[in-house]
Amino acid sequence: MKQIKVDSHIFYIAETILDKTQGIIGREKLIEGGVLVIPDCNWVHTFFISLPLYVYFVSNDYSRVILAPTLSPFRLSPWVIDATHVIEAAQPLDEYIIKKFSRSFFKI
């Protein structure tokens, strides 16, 4: 997975179908110290994951960030129709960090 550092956060980008499908299943250590970005996604699940997640849905133009309630293990997130990317983190993220990442990664 590609990695991008923004301030003190490491963003891991799920680029392949396998990475997107697996998400953080079996990679809980990765998410504890970083953030997982799943492009072209508008819902997630926490099946087979042992920790709750903060899930952020990023809009198509990367200007809006929608925070889902903390997603406990073995749950489905809402399907956010305007979202095109999902960001998963073990700790809450500041919207500024998400927008800063979006500007650098998506070149907007």
Q: What is the pLDDT of residue 22?
A: 83
Q: 2-105 belongs to which CATH class?
A: mainly beta
CA angle, 64 then 62 then 60, to 5°: 95
Output the pTM of the full model.
Answer: 0.85
Give the contacts of 27 (CB within 8 A, at least 6 positions apart). Answer: 36
Q: What is the pLDDT of residue 106?
A: 66
pLDDT at residue 108 is higher than 60: no
Give the whole-angstrom CA distance, residue 105 versus residue 6. Answer: 10
